[in-house]
Structure 1
Amino acid sequence: MSFSRADRSLVGQWWWTVDRWMLAAVVALLFLGAILVLAASPAVATRIGMDNFALAQRHFMMLPLAALAILGGSMLSPRQVRRAGVVLFLMFLTLTFLTLFIGAEIKGATRWIALGPFSLQPSEFLKPCFAIFAAWMFALQKTNPGVPGNLISVLVFLVVIGILLKQPDLGMTAVVTATWAAQFFIAGLPIFWVLLLVGLGIAGLVGAYFMLPHVTERVDQFFNPESGDTYQIDRALEAFQNGGLYGTGPGEGSVKLVLPDAHADFVFAVAGEEFGLVVCLLLVVLFAFIVLRALARLLGEHNHFIILAATGLVTSFGLQAIINMASSLHLMPTKGMTLPFISYGGSSIVAIGLGIGFLLALTRRRFPGSVEA
């Protein structure tokens, strides 16, 4: 793709202002994700009675939508990002609430709304959109003290996590909470409230351990493997051992034949077995590059909304990647959470694409007189 710097078209201006290095890293993740889903999904599809490449085909059908979300989102101005994020937040908050009543129950949780042969998980879209809404509220508190933005953000946050816990979805709750807390901290939350929030977070995790049986089981298995079934994590660790430095080769892995969710929650283990430590480290580098690159682009930024929104989006993206990879390596209790752009997923990959599109838009170069927030 080549455009003259004098090109004033929408695409031309986008090309010369977007962070092309970050965009290249995102494209690399999408490409590696397509390869890994193609490698991991046939075994899973066969095991659940589907055609070999049925899951891969579904994934490839969602890739154009994810790409469209990335490109479309990245072409917006910060003001358009704010408006789109807030409107989408209200829409997906409503849909997430409706899952409690009309959601399809899968593995004891009601997080999905059936749409014919497909299903929509509204909370995946709620996650990046809430980061935009919270940033707007925190920024309003700074620029217009007459608006109780912090209070509104706190109240809406409580509503969001209340719905997520009701589904229940503790992993999503943890990511949303950490993202919101990071934004609140950057917005200038006094140290007393920081310590209070940390204390409440710890209390929430302890409460989840004692009140949610599946959380109790996973934590107990993490600290004492003999206390329960550790089949999935044992197979995941076996995959990494089999792969060694360079892997067994594409399609040559054996653990994916017996590892549940090898195409989704444990796709990192498939990468470890078939492509080895080298590719696993490449994935880590790509995720780290996107996070650090986005933060670096914010160093000279003075617009409160842009700083807070981009911080929230990149925190959510990076934290989700860390949780997935750490779970696969048994560095933390297992949690069903996709690896961004790498795991099989419909709602997940499109929602992450939307969040990254917003992030690319917020980190574009802007010039005097341009429309900001």
Structure 2
Amino acid sequence: MLNAILNNTKGDRWIWLIVIVLSLISLLAVYSSTGTIAYQHGTGAESFLMKHLAMVVAGIALMYISHKLDYRYYAGISKILMAITIPLLLYTLLFGNNLNDASRWIAIPGTGLTFQTSDLAKLALITYLARTLSRKQENIKDVKNSFIPIMGSVCVVFILIALANLSTALMLFGVSILLLIIGRISIKQISIVCVAGAVLLAGVMLLGPRRATYISRINAFMHPEKVDADKSYQSDHAKIAIATGGVLGKGPGNSTERNYLPHPYSDFIYATIIEEYGLIGGFVIVCIYLFLLYRCIKIVTKAPKAFGALLAAGLSFSLTIQAFGNMAVAVGLGPVTGIPLPFVSMGGTSILFTSIAFGIILSVSKDIEEPKKVVVGEIREVAVA
């Protein structure tokens, strides 16, 4: 059975290896960092580990399924996703589960699970932009038929996410701009999108429902000496975890700051990893994501179709920017946000959407491998003849 699965597993082998390595790191880190929350719930850390393991296994299964599907089908799926995403984002803002004055989650009926609609929105917007940019290449400078639909989709998704989750919205907006650049949108039009985004950002920062939270976090980051200790509590303990970890770390399961950090298993899991595995462990994580970006760039440059190249570029940029955003916050290079470390942080449906993104990238890489096999087969047939 294992051989059958391996024989049917296509795409970039290095990306498959990266996913397996990140999964193992995630299981170790989550098991170590959930002791406090397990105690608060009156259970053992093993129960959280098993739930996380189930999500990781489900994620890899979804990755396998999505990589088997020809990536060209995602062009049509993107229209359906966008039609679903925007109403879901509106519904989340109005009726979603509220936590820390932010409505980011909606419940999945009958399952007891919740998911962040922004995770679906990332997948929907990137696939939609890749489809639109690839199909409008011949008249890419047409304002009415090309530019306005692209700008409208980016700005609408940005504002709907930003009202509850500014950090995710900014990262998605940045990925969208990168796709516009790759898709040969003119500098003038890209500048217009950036100006529109800046206006929307100013509106969210000054008039949005979470304006006080955003301003407080920026002040705590820019002027930590002038704010109350509770405002910089999370970043202070993340820095303590990193400082006490040293070069080699305290060893697996020996973190102490996991007892003080509010989310050592998700938002600040990178700080927990450095505390236990030292700077060496933190450096290994950085290298893994850099290598992932390198492999994805190779896929982008070799993709035979514009849609595949744009799709792989958008999804890979999204994953790596999110990863480095999470790590930057943990080491004090950015204000506190609620961004998880892709495929490492404990999560529910976020792991599933990340897995689908990996699967789509693998589907694009599979399309690169198959033409090579056809060419080799044709050469052999000619040689035999």
Once the two structures are superposed, residues 185-233 of structure 1 have per-residue CA deviations (whole angstroms, 9 ceiling, x without a partner) of 1111212233444455555555554441111111111111022321111
Higher radius of gyration, 1 or 2: 2
Report if the CA contact (8 A) 1:208-1:215 is conserved: no
Once the two structures are superposed, residues 21-53 of structure 1 have per-residue CA deviations (whole angstroms, 9 ceiling, x without a partner) of 111111111111111111111223324555444
- After superposition, the Cα gap between the structure-2 partners of 1:11 and 1:91, relative to the gap in structure 1 and judged at 3 Å, is farther
300-309 vs 255-264, which moves further = 300-309
80-89 vs 135-144, which moves further = 80-89
Paired amino acid for 2:36: A
CA separation in 2, counterparts of 1:89 and 1:66? 22
Quote the offset at 1:163 in angstroms. 1.6
Quote the offset at 1:252 in angstroms. 0.9
Number of residues paired by the alignment?
A: 361
CA separation in 1, counterparts of 2:157 and 2:82? 10
CA separation in 2, counterparts of 1:159 and 1:193? 17
CA separation in 2, counterparts of 1:354 and 1:45? 29
CA separation in 1, counterparts of 2:249 and 2:106? 38
Paired amino acid for 1:128: L
CA separation in 2, counterparts of 1:299 and 1:338? 28
Q: 1:82 aligns with which of 75, 81, 84?
A: 75
Q: 2:180 aligns with which of 170, 184, 198?
A: 184
- After superposition, the Cα gap between the structure-2 partners of 1:37 and 1:11, relative to the gap in structure 1 and judged at 3 Å, is closer
- After superposition, the Cα gap between the structure-2 partners of 1:209 and 1:50, relative to the gap in structure 1 and judged at 3 Å, is farther
Counterpart position of 1:246: 248
SS of structure 2 residue aligned to 1:78: coil
Counterpart position of 1:158: 155
- After superposition, the Cα gap between the structure-2 partners of 1:195 and 1:95, relative to the gap in structure 1 and judged at 3 Å, is closer
Counterpart position of 1:148: 145
196-205 vs 65-74, which moves further = 196-205
CA separation in 2, counterparts of 1:35 and 1:196? 46
Report if the CA contact (8 A) 1:171-1:337 is conserved: yes
Q: How does 1:78-157 map to 2 (within 5 A)?
A: 78-115=71-108, 116-143=111-138, 148-157=145-154
Quote the offset at 1:100 in angstroms. 2.3
Counterpart position of 2:341: 339
Normalized per residue, the structure richer in helix is 2
CA separation in 2, counterparts of 1:144 and 1:23? 37
Quote the offset at 1:102 in angstroms. 2.6
Report if the CA contact (8 A) 2:303-2:365 is conserved: no
Once the two structures are superposed, residues 231-253 of structure 1 have per-residue CA deviations (whole angstroms, 9 ceiling, x without a partner) of 11111111111111111111111
Counterpart position of 1:7: none
Report if the CA contact (8 A) 2:162-2:204 is conserved: no
Q: 2:295 aligns with which of 293, 296, 306?
A: 293
- After superposition, the Cα gap between the structure-2 partners of 1:297 and 1:203, relative to the gap in structure 1 and judged at 3 Å, is same
Paired amino acid for 2:153: V
Gaps of 5+ in 1: 4-9
Counterpart position of 1:31: 24
Higher relative CO (Cα under 8 Å, sequence separation at least 6) belongs to 1
- After superposition, the Cα gap between the structure-2 partners of 1:199 and 1:153, relative to the gap in structure 1 and judged at 3 Å, is closer
Once the two structures are superposed, residues 306-348 of structure 1 have per-residue CA deviations (whole angstroms, 9 ceiling, x without a partner) of 1111111011101100110000000111111000011010021
Paired amino acid for 1:216: I
74-83 vs 268-277, which moves further = 74-83
Quote the offset at 1:82 in angstroms. 2.3
SS of structure 2 residue aligned to 1:70: helix
SS of structure 2 residue aligned to 1:298: helix
Quote the offset at 1:110 in angstroms. 1.0
Q: How does 1:207-222 map to 2 (within 5 A)?
A: 208-211=204-207, 212-222=211-221
CA separation in 2, counterparts of 1:88 and 1:318? 22
Q: RMSD of the alignment, in Å?
A: 2.4
Counterpart position of 2:381: none
Gaps of 5+ in 2: 375-385
Q: 2:58 aligns with which of 62, 65, 72?
A: 65
Q: 1:263 aligns with which of 262, 265, 272?
A: 265
Quote the offset at 1:133 in angstroms. 0.9
SS of structure 2 residue aligned to 1:114: strand
SS of structure 2 residue aligned to 1:127: helix
Q: 1:323 aligns with which of 325, 339, 342?
A: 325
Once the two structures are superposed, residues 141-200 of structure 1 have per-residue CA deviations (whole angstroms, 9 ceiling, x without a partner) of 11577892432122122221222133x110121121111111111111212233444455
90-99 vs 279-288, which moves further = 90-99
TM-score by length of 1: 0.89
Paired amino acid for 1:287: Y
83-92 vs 37-46, which moves further = 83-92
Paired amino acid for 1:80: Y
